[in-house]
Amino acid sequence: MGMTIAEKILKAHLVDGEMVQGQEIGLRIDQTLTQDATGTMAYLQFEAMGVDQVKTERSVAYIDHNTLQSGFENADDHKYIGSVAKKHGIYYSKAGNGICHQVHLERFGAPGKTLIGSDSHTPTGGGIGMLAFGAGGLDVAVAMGGGAYYIPMPKMVRVTLTGKLQPWVAAKDIILEVLRQMTVKGGVGKIIEYAGEGVAMLSVPERATITNMGAELGATTSIFPSDEVTKAFLEAQGRGDVYAPLSSDPDAVYDEEYTVALDTLAPLAAAPHMPDNVASIAELGAIPVNQCCIGSCTNSSYYDMMKVAAILKGKHIHPDVSLTISPGSMQVFNMLAKNGALSDIISAGARILECACGPCIGMGQSPESAGVSLRTFNRNFEGRSGTQDAKIYLVSPETAAASALTGVLTDPRTLGEMPVIEMPAHFDINDSMILPPSEHPETVEVQRGPNIKPFPLGEALPDSYSGKIVLKTEDNITTDHILPAGSKLLPYRSNIPYYSNYCFINVDPKFPSRCQEQGGGVIIGGSNYGQGSSREHAALVPLYLGVRAVLAKSFARIHKANLVNSGIVPLTFADPADYDAVELLGMISFPNLRAEISAGGQVTVQAGGKTFMADCDVSDRQRGALLAGGTLNYAKQQSK
Ligand code: MIC
Ligand code: SF4
């Protein structure tokens, strides 16, 4: 039987298990990446493992999320990551060099390789034919140490792009259309492959826009074939030697099929507050706009920025609009500076921000109260921008630039003839902001400022557990709900005790104090609990607060893995109707917890005056981790 692209890469990297859907498989990981907001924890965990030098082909530590340095904390985090990287064989991309996913695509990504990153948008690498996964920091630490990365063998989905993308309709509109069709839960447990005649007309950065937002589908990852377009991109990056062609076999079998008809696709937007709340610009109408932000790992490539510059050239943005531009990398920024496009952007009245995540993770540029902000980003969760009542629309760079000129949500097709942007034959290559690891690691001292605090470790699973329900949530709770980011909190990513005061702060501000009063307890979740980011803080902080189990209707993949890694038991209602039987502050007991988890069957729950069953759908390896109180404890037990 023929194979899909993903199956071919999985097969070539399989070190454990069988490629049978739903069963856990272990993969050899060629490359890893971290960013600063998750990196400190990942490296603390890596250090705890006692491995000297990374065992991967390439590991890179990026500084891109928090670059504000509004106090010593952030600068200390950078120093810590820089010194750990230098000591342990990891390349270090300094603050200002760009957003991890964009820089990785430019300088390190290679078709056919596996990559895991402590950031949910690591699947951006699928645009260059990598099998790239977002993961928790501990999983990345394990991979750096040469350990396998485990996932349940996913289903295979094919999205066929038919016809030809029409002028002013962008890659962003393609992925918004896929989100409209599949929803934010539609990709869970699936790898999405793009195929069809539309593929050849998309450049690598455009493909990367699409694979990037596969994270919003909840997908395990997304991937494009590696073809002549990939080859040209790599050659233009001076890395033609890593090119390898990749395609699916003609008789490859897919579990699900979707089609996007490019001929009839129109400019789209994801309306507040979910990436799948998609409508056409025409349907949404001329909504007055206060802010437009162009950038993020989704849409900050040279190609994106050149289109924006061409739209803005010789014009001025509307007086009521604030337009921010964050080029994705030093390479992009420098090329815009050298060819004059930056001047077109500045002259139009745009505000130029650093090459970093910036407004996407709430590092400044929060909109005004109830403000409308059009963003080329990937997430529009409520409050993520830093303004709770702001209305964020996710749009293409073309739509954002057009709307910045008119002051209202504008279909870029009204702008007349579309400028043609050629991909450059040679990108500007300057790796001076990427520091290689030390050749004399024994001389490198790891620098730990006072903000670097130890991370919490779980305890072995007790025979039984009884406690209070400390929170009951709705569906689609994101990790931004569990632990917000933004400029006020990101400096405390390496300080779990401090960060814990903000757990669920925008959902139920009493949650941290309630946990303290009750000595921890159990969280009840709806479906798709923990969607969004890979931040393992969303598990480590509840662990620190004494949360022992999360009982939900369903989980997002990365968050569930993070819960297991930290030793919190992820349970799902065997009968979702039992969700209604449990109440906030009610008692909940698991009388046979350890024995039932260990046996691999269902778990008995007593709550709301009822006894009912829950499932603990984990692999044998994860079961071991839960019994030991987390993956690090388990690894220690195994190595004895
Ligand atoms: C995000 O986009 O939410 C982040 C910030 O990049 C996160 C990682 C983090 O929380 O540090 C992600 O997507 O994984
Ligand atoms: Fe950074 Fe935003 Fe991309 Fe996350 S989604 S990596 S915050 S740019």
Express each pLDDT in 405-437 by its tens digit: 999 999 999 999 999 999 999 999 999 999 999
State the pLDDT at residue 479. Answer: 97
State the pLDDT at residue 635. Answer: 87
Q: Which residues contact ligand 1 via a Cβ below 6 A?
A: 37-38, 65, 119-121, 134, 361, 485, 532-535
- Other Cβ atoms closer than 10 A to 189: 17
Question: Atom 10, ligand 1: which residue's CA is nearest?
Answer: 535
How many Å lie between the centroid of ligand 1 and the Cα of residue 318? 32
pTM score, whole prediction = 0.97
Quick one: three-class SS letters along 390-411? CEEEECCHHHHHHHHHHCECCC
The residues pairing with 156 across neighbouring beta strands, listed in sequence order, are: 191
Question: Atom 7, ligand 2: which residue's CA is nearest?
Answer: 361
Secondary structure of the chain: what % helix, strand, coil (to 5)? 35, 20, 45
Answer yes or no: are the C-beta atoms of 504 and 584 closer than 8 Å.
Answer: no
119 lines ligand 2 (CB under 6 A): yes
Question: Which parts of the chain sit beneath pLDDT 50?
Answer: none
How many Å lie between the centroid of ligand 1 and the Cα of residue 102? 15
Which residues make Cβ contacts (< 8 Å) with residue 596, sequence separation at least 6? Answer: 590, 602, 603, 604, 616
User: Of the bound ligands, which one is closest to the alpha carbon of residue 99?
Assistant: 2
State the pLDDT at residue 145. Answer: 96
How many Å lie between the centroid of ligand 1 and the Cα of residue 534? 6
d(CA 635, CA 205): 39
How many Å lie between the centroid of ligand 2 and the Cα of residue 535? 12
Number of DSSP helices (H) and strands (E) in the chain, helices first: 21, 27
State the pLDDT at residue 637. Answer: 86
State the pLDDT at residue 119. Answer: 98
Question: Atom 11, ligand 1: which residue's CA is nearest?
Answer: 37
The residues pairing with 394 across neighbouring beta strands, listed in sequence order, are: 270, 375
215 lines ligand 2 (CB under 6 A): no
Which residue out of 38, 361, 534 has the highest number of ligand 2 atoms within 8 Å of its CB and is therefore the one to mutate?
A: 361
Model confidence over 439-480: pLDDT tens digits?
999 999 999 999 899 889 999 999 999 999 999 999 999 999
State the pLDDT at residue 317. Answer: 98
296 lines ligand 2 (CB under 6 A): yes
